[in-house]
Amino acid sequence: MKFFDSLIDTVSDLFSSLEQKSFDKGEPWKDAGTNQVIMRRDTACELEGTGFNLVTSREISDGITVIGDDLGDIKDNRSFARISIVQIEDIGDEQKSYNLIKKIEYVKYHCFPDGFMMRSTSRSHKEAVRVSKTAVKNGIDFRSVGSLLINKYKENPAVKGVRILFITHPLANYEAAEKAACRNSEIAETLNHIMNSINFDCDTCNLKAICDEVEGMKELHFKRTN
């Protein structure tokens, strides 16, 4: 699975000049087990921006990278990005790999860190977080939240490694992160287009540019037509 590798490199370069703190996976934050509602009066901070997954067969070690302030140091609402780089085993079957990508996307809907309310939709890469005052008082941080999320990803035995980036730095290029998320969605849409054998007339396909630009995509396209 290499369709997203170039985008992984782009994302890595995007934040390379900013101060970063990296952690091994640690003790996971408590999972509340269900959706929570955190009222505004009980909110320590709100984070709003972009959240998406990048899937690869490259070797990835479990860990969390924080670019900017951690949860205990954030005193105001701010822009935010969460990017999960997920290593899957090299299955050698494109259809199974594509099905796995879809399963990975739904992990965030089954992870409920206590006092950390995540809001997102399946049709958008927008992601918003509301953190409770109680959770901050009890020591919540991105390492513990990320460790819980990593555990959720790895409930699927095909997931071999996960590195999660949490970005809150005021100088981060959130517009570029948004563009990367959009590109990620376009690649996933093109895979869906190919795997479901939808319209193989390249001259009329509105996804032709993605197919031409992403390494391995055109080869998969023609493999599926034969």
DSSP-assigned letters across all residues of 141-190: -HHHHHHHHHHHHTTSTTEEEEEEEEE--TTS-HHHHHHHHHHHHHHHHH
CA–CA distance, 177 with 54 (Å, rounded to integer): 12
What DSSP element (H or E) covers 23? strand 20-23
CA–CA distance, 151 with 19 (Å, rounded to integer): 26
Query: Could you state, in chain order, the average pLDDT of each consecutive group of 10 residues for the chain (226 residues)?
Result: 84 93 97 93 96 93 97 94 93 73 89 94 82 97 98 95 97 94 84 62 54 50 49
Indicate the pTM of the whole model: 0.85
DSSP 31: B
Q: Selecting from 3.90.550.10, 3.40.50.10800, 3.30.1650.10, 3.65.10.10, what CATH number does the domain 5-172 have?
A: 3.30.1650.10
Phi, then psi, of 149 in degrees rounded to 5: -65, -40
What is the number of H-type helices and E-type strands within the chain?
Answer: 7, 7
Output the pLDDT for position 217: 47
Output the pLDDT for position 123: 64
Output the pLDDT for position 184: 87
Output the pLDDT for position 122: 61
